Amino acid sequence: MPARVVNVTAAPMTFMERLYLPAILKGMALTFSHFFRNLVDIKRLPTIQFPEMRRVYSERYRGRHILKTREDGSLKCVACYMCETACPADCIHIEAGEHPVLAYEKYPVKFEIDFLRCVMCGFCVDACPKDAIWMTKDYEMSYFDRESAIYGIEKLRETREDTAAGGPGYGYRPYYGESPMRKAGEFEPSGLALLPVLKKRAEAINRMPPPKAAPPAAKTA
């Protein structure tokens, strides 16, 4: 079947259409109407006026990392290399050293995170057995060179600004939100808080009756 050819001819433009001024004025009128309406009622806009206005992010937001400290100010990290091993981007580098306190055994002489390679997956937080590395809600990270994007212990150590009222606040971590392990606004230092739960579970398993032995199989002739 041969293709059908349709001739389309545009209607000739009028004198006012050839001037283009009415269309330009109409578009400018629409633009200025939106401008003045948004200027009067800013609260209804879906956008925010950053940095004066900031969005409230989830308690599980994966932002800049921090290294938690003990009561004596030393890092909780024991340089076990679990986070470095679990990191899919290979952006964590740790060098271990012998800690002067024998109870702590090891500590990180060097702990670096390359944020230009980090994918903010949180695997390092999940892998840490000492709850030594958390994530914050801080997303304002910009650099002019690669060296500035590599954070060492000095930049990763938790500071008062991270937990202050105007600070970014905690993000993804082992226990977030209203956890039963939370005490006076602080989180438990390690997974030892789970020991009572595990103990009760073990006691319940021990009270269970032993399984019945299976009946002997019938002998066939």
Residue 132 domain-assigned? yes
User: What is d(CA 199, CA 217) in angstroms, rounded to the nearest whole number?
Assistant: 39
Residue 107 domain-assigned? yes
Residue 52 domain-assigned? no
Check which CATH number belongs to the domain holding 107 and give it: 3.30.70.3270
Amino acid at 15: F
Residue 144: CA atoms inside 13 Å, Cβ hemisphere, count? Answer: 0
Residue 26 domain-assigned? no
What is the residue whose two structure tokens read 């964590």? 92
**Angle of CA points 100, 102, 103, to nearest 5°:** 125
Residue 159 domain-assigned? yes
Residue 39 domain-assigned? no
Quick one: pLDDT at residue 181?
A: 40
Residue 41 domain-assigned? no
What is the residue whose two structure tokens read 């009756």? 209
- Tokens (6 digits) for 140: 């304002």
User: What is d(CA 152, CA 167) in angstroms, rounded to the nearest whole number?
Assistant: 20
Q: How many domains does the chain have?
A: 1
Quick one: pLDDT at residue 18?
A: 80
In angstroms and rounded to an integer, the radius of gyration of the C-alpha atoms of the chain is: 31
Quick one: pLDDT at residue 134?
A: 94
Q: pTM higher than 0.85 for the full model?
A: no
Low-confidence ranges of the chain (pLDDT < 50): 178-194
Beta strands in 86-149 (DSSP E): 92-98, 106-114, 133-135
Coil, helix or strand for 28?
A: helix
Quick one: pLDDT at residue 177?
A: 55
For residue 153, what are the domain limits?
A: 65-192
Residue 48 domain-assigned? no
Quick one: pLDDT at residue 175?
A: 75
Whether 131 and 190 have beta carbons less than 8 Å apart is answered as yes
Whether 108 and 75 have beta carbons less than 8 Å apart is answered as yes
Quick one: pLDDT at residue 186?
A: 43
> In 118-148, which positions are buried (b, 16+ CB within 10 angstroms) versus exposed (e)?
bebebbbbebbebbbbbbbbbeeeeeeeeee
Q: What kind and span of H or E run contains 36? A: helix 21-40
> In 15-37, which positions are buried (b, 16+ CB within 10 angstroms) versus exposed (e)?
eeeeeeeeeeeeeeeeeeeeeee
Quick one: pLDDT at residue 192?
A: 45
